[in-house]
Structure formats: C-alpha cells, structure tokens
Amino acid sequence: MRRSLLLAVLLLLAAPALARAAEPSLIERPQWQKPFADAGLTGTMVLRQEGSPEILVHNPARAATAFLPASTFKIPNSLIALETGAVSNPSEVFPYDGKPRYLPEWNANLTLAQAFAVSCVPVYQEIARRIGPERMAKYLADFHYGNADIGGGIDRFWLDGALRISALEQLDFLGRLHRRELPLRRQVMDDVLTMMITDKTPTAVLRAKTGLTARVSPNVGWYVGSVTRGPDVWYFALNLEAPDNNPAAVPARKKIALDILKMEGLWE
C-alpha cells in the first residue's frame, strides 16, 4: 500500500515536468522571411515532421494568433459530413441550382470531392446546414479545433463568424487527422485525406487546402496540409495578411509555402 501511494505521489509530482517535456519547441527559420518579402506580404509558416519534438517557424507571434479558417474549414466540414451521414460519400453529387456563382467552376453539378477541389463555398454551406449547429458544435469541440465557436450562423461561422484557429492549431489538427486520432471512423479520415491530395511526384505526395477570407479586414490567406515522402510526413500551415483583398495574396499562399518546402528539401 505504502509503495503504491509513494509511486502515485511521485507520478503526480512529475506530471508538470512530463507535460512540459512533451510540448514542442519552436525553432525560428530566419531564411523563410525571403519568400514573404519577395511577395511583399506579411505572414507566418510552421512546419513539423511527424514524431519530431520541434516545430520550425517563421513569425512565431503570428503563428500563435488565431484567425478565421475560411476554406481550410472544408477539411473538418467534410469529415463531419461523412461521419454523420449528412453526405453519403465523396461521390455524392450536389446539383447546380442554376444561379450564377462567384467562380465559373462552381457553376456545375459537383461531387463532394469536386466541390472540395474547387473550394465551392455554396456546396459547403449546404453541407453545414445539413449537419446542423448541434452536431457541428459537438464535433468541433471533440476535434479541439481552434476555439470551436460556431457563432455567427451555421453556414458562415468559418467565413465571417466567431470561429478562430491559429497556424499552430492547424498543425496539431492535421497531425491528429493523419494519425487517425480524431473520434471518427477510419474510412472517413481515409476518404478526406484522399480528397486532400493536390499533387504527386515520384517521391512525394502533397495534401493541401487553401483558404481566403473576403468579409473581414485585413483579410487572411491560408495554405495548410502535409507532404509525405516514403514513411515520413511533414505538416505545414501558412497564413498571410491580405490587405484590401490584395490579388497578389491568392497565388502567394501556395507559392510561398512551396518555396519554403523546397528550401527544406521536401518538395521538388
């Protein structure tokens, strides 16, 4: 009994130190400033290899600052939709209603996978309405997704409502998705990870999602995802400030992130 009690006390005393040891350390990468400077934009980038105790970072203060996720929210939105049955599978078709939409590629019948690929906002607003606020709030809390706040309307809380997430939190979420640690069926996570594939080379696979707010000031551009090379995986999250809907921010999101991945020898 005394030995068990002593062991329990020792574990309790050691818990804070163990928790601190488990926290990743941030390693700044000054050389990552150049791609942002070349684009004339302010932003942050974080990168972490699966299993590493270190997170590489440019602009750590911004990396810890939470912003609207914009269309990067299509990742958890897809997961919740498939898990709850709000969408039956990635091939389910969403009929086009005939109304002109913001982008020409949205003006068509689209499967879930196609809507994800072209980032069709109206389709994902319909998906969120099907899921409903009760289920949406529950899963975001279970995911520990940012502040998990769906205030502002079920079909717009990630666009101009209350939801906020930082680049560091995006990194953590992506890691748990890849490791299949979210409270979801494995098939659901497999399906969404497949939907996220945007490019392949003979040696690597890129999974990613863009995002760009359009109703707040200053607007925020996102590019988040992972690179898989053989058995190794790296997670990344970039966001940048897009003042006055600066058109340069649209291509810069992906270009800056890929330039940094190339600098680190992770992408060709």
The pLDDT tens digits for 186-198 are 999 999 999 999 9
Torsion 202-236-198-244 (CA) sign: negative
The amino acid sitting at 251 is P
Backbone angles phi, psi at 22, to 5 degrees: -80, -20
**Which pLDDT score is estimated for 105?**
93
Give pLDDT tens digits for 12-22: 444 444 344 46
Say whether pLDDT at 25 is over 60.
Answer: yes
Supply the pTM of this predicted model. 0.90
**Which pLDDT score is estimated for 22?**
64
Q: Out of 3.40.710.10, 3.40.50.720, 3.90.180.10, 3.40.50.800, which CATH number does the structure's domain 25-264 have?
A: 3.40.710.10
Mean pLDDT of the chain: 91
Residue 226: active-site member? no
CA angle 239, 245, 247 (to 5 degrees): 85
Confidence of residue 155 (pLDDT cuts 50, 70, 90): very high
Confidence of residue 245 (pLDDT cuts 50, 70, 90): low
More confident residue, 248 or 17: 248
Give pLDDT tens digits for 216-238: 888 999 999 999 999 999 999 99
The amino acid sitting at 47 is L
Q: Where are the domains of the chain?
A: 25-264
- CA pair distance 36, 79, nearest whole angstrom: 32
- Which residues are CB-neighbours of 151 under 8 A, at least 6 positions away? 157, 161, 162, 163
Confidence of residue 144 (pLDDT cuts 50, 70, 90): very high
- Which residues are CB-neighbours of 20 under 8 A, at least 6 positions away? none
Confidence of residue 11 (pLDDT cuts 50, 70, 90): very low
Q: Is 98 left (phi over 0), alpha (psi -120 to 50) or beta?
A: left
Say whether pLDDT at 126 is over 70.
Answer: yes
Give pLDDT tens digits for 159-210: 999 999 999 999 999 999 999 999 999 999 999 999 999 999 999 999 999 9
**Which pLDDT score is estimated for 10?**
39
Query: Which region among 40-44, 59-63, 248-252 has the lowest average model confidence (pLDDT)?
Result: 248-252
Active-site residue, from 71, 78, 119, 166:
71
